[in-house]
């Protein structure tokens, strides 16, 4: 990595071109640039023209237009209806319902602490026989990853009854990496000997030591092992929870770390050939 990226971190954005062109589509990265600049300046010019026209209109005896009033968005209710997105209260409630005592005591999160890793809470699709029913029950799918045995657990909670209707347990299924998992992966990479290039490139860009994920903007994608394409250390990726990071200096340049894979289940870092 040091050889690839550290040719000039000033050119790490050129290196970002590599990171961008090769990976932006896969990971949904939006890179800094002029996007929005034209619209913003155009908006300012439009506002100036509008002001001039209003002034001209007043000079010609026309009635001045009253400034617009932006109304405050209505307060979010405790409960949604139909296919409304889950409210904050609903999200908290279903997560508490889904995280029962057994899962809480037996599961393990990405940091190795008690309780499974929360991945996400989403509004569940209606049942087939409920598709045309406007009064169909609202349900939420609450997803956890249990690092103790690399299991994806999805619980479907009925928001009306407050009961768990289904529990689905899967192995080898890897949903997108959550924010907490990205942060933990960055911690492991920064502390690992294979993170030396990342640390050096960060220091070249900022003059400061890289010691915390808070100094980076992070994007990521799940990594799955392919036969013969990685060292033995990473051979279980897919069964294990593995991630490739696409780090960026906070408010600065991208750093190419594509060759490095963090196995969050084993808490180890490997390098692709």
Please indicate, yes or no, whether the overall pTM of this predicted structure exceeds 0.85.
Answer: no
Q: How many CB atoms within 10 Å of residue 264?
A: 23
The answer to whether the CB of 263 falls within 8 A of the CB of 240 is yes
Which residue has tokens 């799940």?
Answer: 222
Which residue has tokens 């180890």?
Answer: 268
Longest dimension (CA), the chain: 81
What is the pLDDT tens value at each position of the chain, 273 positions in all?
444 444 333 334 444 443 434 443 343 444 444 333 344 333 444 444 444 444 444 445 555 666 766 655 445 457 777 778 999 999 999 999 999 888 899 999 999 999 999 999 999 998 888 888 878 899 999 999 999 999 999 999 999 999 999 999 999 999 999 999 999 999 999 999 999 999 999 999 999 999 999 999 999 999 999 988 899 999 999 999 999 999 999 999 999 999 999 999 999 999 998
Angstrom distance (rounded) from CA 28 to CA 84 = 26
Contacts of 210 (CB under 8 A, 6+ apart): 190, 198, 199, 202, 203, 216
Residue 31 is encoded by which pair of tokens? 């890179």
Residue 162 CA, distance from chain mean position:
28
Angle formed by the axes of helices 196-206 and 179-191, to 10°? 100
């Amino acid at each position: 990595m040091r050889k690839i990226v550290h040719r000039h971190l000033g050119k790490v954005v050129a290196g970002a071109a590599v990171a961008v062109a090769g990976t932006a589509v896969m990971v949904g990265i939006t890179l800094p640039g002029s996007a929005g600049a034209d619209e913003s300046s155009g908006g300012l010019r439009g506002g100036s023209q509008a002001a001039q026209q209003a002034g001209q209109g007043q000079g010609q005896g026309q009635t001045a237009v009253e400034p617009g009033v932006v109304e405050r968005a209505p307060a979010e209710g405790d409960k949604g209806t139909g296919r409304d997105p889950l409210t904050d209260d609903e999200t908290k409630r279903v997560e508490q319902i889904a995280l029962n005592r057994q899962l809480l005591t037996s599961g393990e999160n990405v940091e190795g602490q008690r309780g499974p890793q929360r991945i996400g809470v989403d509004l569940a699709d209606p049942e087939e026989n409920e598709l045309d029913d406007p009064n169909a029950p609202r349900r939420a799918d609450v997803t956890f990853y249990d690092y103790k045995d690399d299991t994806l657990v999805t619980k479907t909670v009925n928001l009306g009854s407050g009961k768990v209707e289904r529990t689905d347990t899967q192995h080898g299924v890897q949903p997108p990496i959550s924010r907490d998992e990205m942060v933990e992966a960055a911690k492991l990479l920064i502390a690992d000997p294979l993170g030396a290039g990342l640390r050096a490139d960060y220091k070249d860009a900022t003059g400061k030591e890289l010691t915390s994920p808070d100094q980076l903007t992070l994007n990521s994608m799940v990594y799955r092992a392919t036969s013969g394409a990685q060292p033995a250390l990473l051979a279980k990726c897919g069964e294990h929870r593995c991630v490739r990071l696409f780090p960026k200096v906070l408010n600065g340049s991208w750093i190419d770390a594509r060759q490095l894979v963090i196995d969050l289940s084993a808490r180890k870092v490997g390098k692709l050939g």
